[in-house]
A and B are shown apart, each in its own frame.
Chain A
Amino acid sequence: DAKTTQPPSMDCAEGRAANLPCNHSTISGNEYVYWYRQIHSQGPQYIIHGLKNNETNEMASLIITEDRKSSTLILPHATLRDTAVYYCIVRLNYGGSQGNLIFGKGTKLSVKP
């Protein structure tokens, strides 16, 4: 079972920041938080991952709370091409089923003009 809870859908105006929340209240100390997105009819695309510290790359920023029970993915200037289902996933970094990527239901982000 997925260990994360996300809102089923969100809207965002084009050019504005999109803030996608994720709850992972049962996360353990050695589990990472990963974000992927899936644009309609395409394969999932990696966005970012983190353990404790906030992370930023060319696509997005990941803010993880100090207690690690929740996180927020931030797309700083959303475009229409960012319309997709966004998956927040927690996973271990070693073998066995817990180390694999298990998708939850995700958040359908719609960026509107």
Chain B
Amino acid sequence: DTEVTQTPKHLVMGMTNKKSLKCEQHMGHRAMYWYKQKAKKPPELMFVYSYEKLSINESVPSRFSPECPNSSLLNLHLHALQPEDSALYLCASSEIIAAIGELFFGEGSRLTVL
């Protein structure tokens, strides 16, 4: 199984809602990543987890709250988002942080904030 599974594929939420994005991998990878991609732009790194601990936060606003409850699961909790937060949110994993070789990406969760 070389898949990174993201749910939901599409999410529409209001600015006062609380929602979560979920990412799962069963490759035994110990590094997991969240990227944000706006339309027609490259992916931007948001968070990096290594062995279930937050390793890197690229100055992401606190309305985005990541969580890594176990080595296979990565969540992104969303609260009080703004319309400009509408984007494709991509999850990725690798064997260890900054490992030589492939980062495996999921298909993304497309978020629309109304």
List chain A positions with a Cβ less than 8 A from chain B.
Answer: 2, 32, 38, 41-46, 49, 85, 87, 91-97, 99-106
Number of A-B contacts defined by CB within 8 Å: 61
The closest CB in chain B to the CB of A2 belongs to B42
Number of interface residues of B (CB under 8 A): 27
Structural contact, A32 and B100, CB atoms closer than 8 A: yes
B106 touches A100 (CB 8 A): no
Rounded to whole angstroms, the CA-CA distance of A39 and B56 in the bound complex is: 27
- B43 contacts A97, CB within 8 Å? no
Is A93 touching B100 in the complex (CB atoms < 8 A)? yes
Measured CB to CB, the residues of B under 8 A from A are 4, 33, 42-45, 48, 50, 55-56, 58, 88, 90, 92, 97-108, 110
Give every chain B residue within 8 A of A93 (Cβ-Cβ). Answer: 98-100
B98 near A43 with CB under 8 A, answer no
Find out whether the CB atom of A97 lies under 8 angstroms from the CB atom of B56: yes
- A contact patch SS: loop
Q: Given known contacts A95-B55, A106-B42, is B97 in contact with A43 (CB within 8 Å)? A: no
User: In the bound complex, how far is the Cα of B40 from the Cα of A105, in angstroms?
Assistant: 9
A4 to chain B, nearest CB (A): 11
Contact residue among B58, B92, B98, B105 (Cβ-Cβ distance under 8 Å from A95): B98
Which residues of A have CB within 8 Å of B88?
Answer: 41
- If A91-B98, A101-B103, A106-B42 touch, whether A43 touches B56 (CB-CB below 8 Å) is no
